[in-house]
């Protein structure tokens, strides 16, 4: 199966959300769509799922124009939007059965698929719980199951990790990776480390334009000679302590805690002898690909990820 994007453009009044995006995607690929807020990720996914129509360009699925014939895509795609809508008074099982019915799946086939997916996503013990009483992570997993009902050949997921704890994120990532062996799987995320190990292709959007379209290895290769890493001691009690070897200081108000990722070291921007260092939020366990994402997106002359010893 081949999905071709040819100079796709989408505008909202005076704003261009997606501009001249071209790419060719094939079955057997897990495509990671990354970019900061407002880069155009959600708009691009809505264009691929036929929720929106492009202002220009074509989207071809095995040679057929899905803008002119949207059912070509709709019959083969499973889509999860950024926010999962659910009827709060329905149980998880009732909600999934309703979605299966809307998709036209036969009752026996639906029961088999739902039971299998509930097990895969560790929701078998929650199927009698009302959706309104489910946690954010449970709703998100139920939403992903909805997207997978009907065995779609193209899976489009917008921010799959929303509301999931680290263990659930790994489970979802592994399931999508397995499914991508015979399908096209496209997912957008801000958590780059979630797709680093499984993505076969990275699409990087910046202000609506596609600035990178290649393998994660190629993206990492672009960091050669541009990214430095320095090991510092454990986080000191005195947050204003100076680090003369690199000329940076921590500011207490700029350090925050994140449940999912742990400490986020948010340093201030400052000018140095070697150029303008754009300093953002750095996790203590930053991956090389995450650093490259920051490097490409912000155009920094140099990015310094800090790793603190225990």
Task: Give the pLDDT confidence of 86-104 residue by residue, as tens digits.
Answer: 889 999 999 999 999 999 9
Return d(Cα 43, Cα 209) in angstroms, integer: 12
Residue 228's pLDDT band (cuts 50, 70, 90): low
Token digits for 200? 């076969």
Average pLDDT over residues 199-221: 88
Average pLDDT over residues 106-116: 95
**Chain centroid offset of residue 22 CA:** 19
The confidence score (pLDDT) of residue 195 equals 78
Considering the entire predicted model, what is its pTM? 0.73
Token digits for 58? 């074509």
Return d(Cα 51, Cα 59) in angstroms, integer: 13
**Region(s) of the chain under CATH 3.40.50.300:** 1-76+180-216
Least confident among 46-60, 88-102, 106-120, 269-283: 269-283
Return d(Cα 210, Cα 24) in angstroms, integer: 13
Token digits for 289? 């690909």
The confidence score (pLDDT) of residue 227 equals 57
The confidence score (pLDDT) of residue 161 equals 80
Q: Please report where in the chains the tokens 């954010």 appear, as a residue.
A: 136
pLDDT at residue 84 above 50?
A: yes
The confidence score (pLDDT) of residue 74 equals 93
Q: Single out the residue of 212, 196, 204, 205 nearest to residue 289, CA to CA.
A: 196
Whether 1 and 184 have beta carbons less than 8 Å apart is answered as yes
Whether 85 and 132 have beta carbons less than 8 Å apart is answered as no
Q: Look up the CATH architecture of domain 1-76+180-216.
A: 3-Layer(aba) Sandwich (3.40)
pLDDT at residue 248 above 50?
A: no
Select the more confidently predicted residue: 268 or 159: 159
Count of beta carbons in the 10 Å neighbourhood of residue 204:
21
Average pLDDT over residues 7-34: 93
Whether 26 and 68 have beta carbons less than 8 Å apart is answered as no
pLDDT at residue 284 above 80?
A: no
Residue 53's pLDDT band (cuts 50, 70, 90): very high
The confidence score (pLDDT) of residue 171 equals 86
The confidence score (pLDDT) of residue 82 equals 85
Average pLDDT over residues 10-26: 93
Whether 18 and 208 have beta carbons less than 8 Å apart is answered as yes
Return d(Cα 76, Cα 153) in angstroms, integer: 5
pLDDT at residue 122 above 70?
A: yes
Strand ranges across the sheet with 255-258: 255-258, 262-266, 281-283
The confidence score (pLDDT) of residue 306 equals 41
Select the more confidently predicted residue: 52 or 13: 52
Which residues are within 8 A (CB) of 151 and not within 5 positions of it... i.e. 6 or more apart? 113
pLDDT at residue 118 above 70?
A: yes
The confidence score (pLDDT) of residue 229 equals 52
The confidence score (pLDDT) of residue 282 equals 37
The confidence score (pLDDT) of residue 38 equals 84
β 209-214/64-65 pair status: unpaired
Angle, alpha carbons 292-277-18 (nearest 5°): 50
Q: What is the DSSP letter of 153?
A: S
| Average pLDDT value over all residues in the chain | 77
């Amino acid at each position: 199966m081949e999905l071709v994007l040819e100079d796709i453009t989408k505008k909202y009044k005076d704003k261009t959300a997606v501009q001249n995006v071209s790419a060719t995607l094939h079955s057997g690929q897990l495509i990671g769509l990354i970019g900061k807020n407002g880069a155009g990720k959600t708009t691009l996914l809505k264009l691929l799922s036929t929720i929106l129509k492009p202002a220009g360009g074509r989207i071809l699925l095995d040679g057929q124009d899905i803008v002119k014939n949207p059912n070509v895509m709709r019959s083969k795609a499973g889509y999860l939007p950024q926010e999962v809508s659910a009827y709060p008074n329905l149980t998880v099982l009732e909600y999934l059965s309703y979605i299966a019915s809307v998709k036209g799946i036969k009752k026996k086939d639906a029961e088999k698929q739902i039971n299998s997916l509930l097990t895969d996503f560790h929701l078998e013990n929650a199927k009698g719980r009302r959706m309104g009483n489910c946690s954010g992570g449970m709703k998100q997993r139920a939403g992903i199951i909805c997207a997978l009902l009907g065995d779609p050949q193209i899976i489009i997921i917008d921010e799959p990790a929303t509301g999931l704890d680290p263990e659930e994120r790994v489970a979802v990532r592994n399931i999508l990776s397995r499914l991508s062996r015979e399908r096209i799987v496209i997912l957008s995320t801000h958590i780059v480390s979630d797709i680093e190990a499984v993505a076969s292709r990275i699409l990087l959007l910046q202000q609506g334009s596609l600035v990178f379209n290649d393998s994660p290895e190629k993206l990492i290769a672009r960091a050669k000679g541009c990214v430095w890493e320095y090991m510092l001691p454990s986080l000191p009690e005195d947050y204003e302590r100076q680090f003369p070897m690199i000329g940076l200081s921590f500011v207490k108000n700029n350090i925050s805690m994140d449940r999912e990722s742990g400490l986020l070291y948010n340093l201030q921007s400052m000018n140095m002898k070697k150029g303008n260092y754009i300093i953002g939020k750095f996790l203590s366990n930053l991956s090389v690909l995450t650093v490259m994402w920051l490097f490409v997106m912000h155009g920094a002359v140099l990015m310094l990820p800090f790793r603190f010893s225990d």
